[in-house]
Amino acid sequence: MKRALIGGIGNVLLGDDGVGPYLVRLLEAGYRFGDDVEIADLGTPALDLTHRIVGLHSLILVDSVAGEDAEPGTVLLYRKQDLLHQAPAQRLDPHSPALAECLLSAELLGAMPENVLLVGIVGGNYAPGCALTPAVQRSLESAMAAVIKELVDLGFETEKKFVSDPPDIWWSEEPDICRAASNI
């Protein structure tokens, strides 16, 4: 059975870095997916991401990215070949996802996803705090559209809900958590 994973990557307590988890919560609230599609907040994975992707048909990740010349809020799409052509970099901190390394590990196991898409949203502020910058907030619709288009193009069932559920974005609704995080 072909399966897909939509995963949000990022730290929700570091501003725009939390856009991945934020967006997957919006997708859960606004869409229905077939049983063959899993949606997950992956947090800040390292090589442990490998066990989540082994054997998948399709992997769609949403994460904040650095845009060389792009303005904050720009949506950039990276395919598997784009991600694999970048040599695995030295990880500078425990929060940097090891995506290329995980894909290479899955390939060594003979179980790399056939389709991989990283929906990258150029961030503008990574300071402690829970709020997304206005530029990143404005990009959410186009980033969600890219995820949905990819699923539809790959033949996965998606349906927009007539009335969206309230998104479970607890960190943006709990200002005390954000204030405490910014004081760390």
- Residue 158 confidence (pLDDT): 95
The Cα 45–Cα 68 span in angstroms is 23
Count of H helices and E strands in the chain?
A: 7, 7
Assigned CATH for 4-182 = 3.40.50.1450
**How long, in residues, is the chain?**
184
Q: What's the whole-model pTM score?
A: 0.87
The mean per-residue pLDDT over the stretch 22-35 comes to 96
The Cα 109–Cα 46 span in angstroms is 17
- List, in sequence order, the alpha helices (H) in 109-155: 134-153
Q: What six digits make up the tokens of 86?
A: 């970048």
| Dihedral of alpha carbons 40, 12, 29, 150, sign | negative
**Helix 19-30 crosses helix 134-153 at what angle (to 10 degrees)?**
60
Rg (CA), the chain: 16
The Cα 141–Cα 139 span in angstroms is 6
159 alpha-carbon distance from chain centroid: 20
The mean per-residue pLDDT over the stretch 66-82 comes to 89
The Cα 121–Cα 72 span in angstroms is 8
- Residue 175 confidence (pLDDT): 55
Read off the pLDDT of residues 155-184 as tens digits, 9 standing for 90 and up: 999 999 999 888 888 777 555 555 554 455
The mean per-residue pLDDT over the stretch 27-52 comes to 90
